Structure 1
Amino acid sequence: MEFVFIPPYSPTLNAIEPLWKSLKRDISPQIYENEDHFREFLTETFLRLSHRVSFAVDWIETFLPKIQRLH
Structure 2
Amino acid sequence: PPYSPTLNAIEPLWKDLKREISPEIFADKEHFREFLTETFLRLSHRVSFASDWIETFLPDIQVLQ
TM-score class, shorter = over 0.9
4+ aligned runs moved over 6 Å, structure 1: none
Extract unaligned runs of 5+ from structure 1: 1-6
Paired amino acid for 1:48: R
**Residue of 43, 53, 57 corresponding to 1:63:** 57
TM-score by length of 2: 0.94
TM-score by length of 1: 0.87
Q: Percent identity?
A: 82
Extract unaligned runs of 5+ from structure 2: none
Paired positions, count:
65
**Residue of 34, 39, 45 corresponding to 1:40:** 34
Q: CA RMSD in A?
A: 0.7
